[in-house]
Amino acid sequence: MATLLVGVDRIVAAFVWLALTVLIDPMFIEVSFQWPPISD
């Protein structure tokens, strides 16, 4: 049972890391592309 929980914990951690990477990376990319602000 302990090994099963460890496996589930690793899977959940992997999904959380993947979700955070997918959600945060576009933000950083947009910020980096929009900085410095371009004045039209």
Residue type, 8: V
Query: Per the confidence metrics, is the pTM higher than 0.85?
Result: no
Q: In order along the chain (40 residues), what is the average pLDDT of each group of 10 residues?
A: 78 89 74 61
Q: What is the pLDDT of residue 7?
A: 84
| Beta carbons within 10 angstroms of residue 27's beta carbon | 9
pLDDT of residue 33: 63
Residue 37: which region, alpha, beta or left (left: phi > 0; alpha: psi -120 to 50)? beta
